[in-house]
Amino acid sequence: MRALIRPPLLFRKIVRGALWRMNKKEKKIYLTFDDGPVPSATTDVLSILKKFNVKATFFCVGENVKKHPEIFQQLIDEGHALGNHTFHHVDGWNTTTRSYLREVQQCAEVFSSKLFRPPYGRMRPAQRKAIQRKYKIVLWDVLTYDFDKNWSGEDCLQTALKYSREGSIVVFHDSEKAKERMLFALPKFIEEMLGKGFEFGVLK
């Protein structure tokens, strides 16, 4: 499982056209957050980002946006970028292509974005090909595993620090499940990377 912190080059080539990493020559990190917005977790993330004057990209679940419009509006007001993460956070491997595309469209009816990240990073080839006609599919260069209850916040932090490099797209989760580990690792990660001379960018 830990091998997927950074997906192997062969896997990146198989999933053609997806965005895994940004410019390797720029000393920038791209923070991304999946599964929100939700009370507490997302608002705590926003407080940390504001403290460090850092922007990020939030891949939002449509259902959560509808439940918590005020938090979603805060994301927009504070200048963060947005991405589609389906309406109900469905697994593409266990969903028909027709149903999966309906999920993507249902989320798009709640808010607009040209970015898409599949929940769990999983899609069928037919789903990917259809989605790529309208969206830039964003995956990752570093997965922190903050969602894994068998990992500690320190594990997540050290993973992020060890694997992040120029152009890395780093995945955290603004969810209740990941909250404790994410909130431990996130501020320390930002502070350390800023200290190393990195900047933080948003995906477009």
Active site residues: 34, 173
Q: What does the alpha-carbon distance between residue 138 and residue 32 come to, in Å, rounded to a whole number?
A: 10
In Å, the largest CA–CA distance within the chain is: 47
Q: What does the alpha-carbon distance between residue 192 and residue 48 come to, in Å, rounded to a whole number?
A: 14
Compute CA 177 distance to the chain's CA centroid, rounded to the nearest angstrom: 15
Residue whose C-alpha is closest to residue 126's, from 91, 100, 108: 100
SS3 75: helix
**102-121 as b/e, with b when 16 or more CB fall inside 10 Å?**
ebbebbbebbebebbbbbeb
**DSSP secondary structure, 142-202, as one string:** EE--TT-TTS-HHHHHHHHHHH--TTBEEEEE-STTTHHHHHHHHHHHHHHHHHTT-EE--
| Residue 15 vs residues 103, 113, 188: alpha-carbon distances, Å | 21, 21, 32
Token pair in block for residue 141: 């260069």
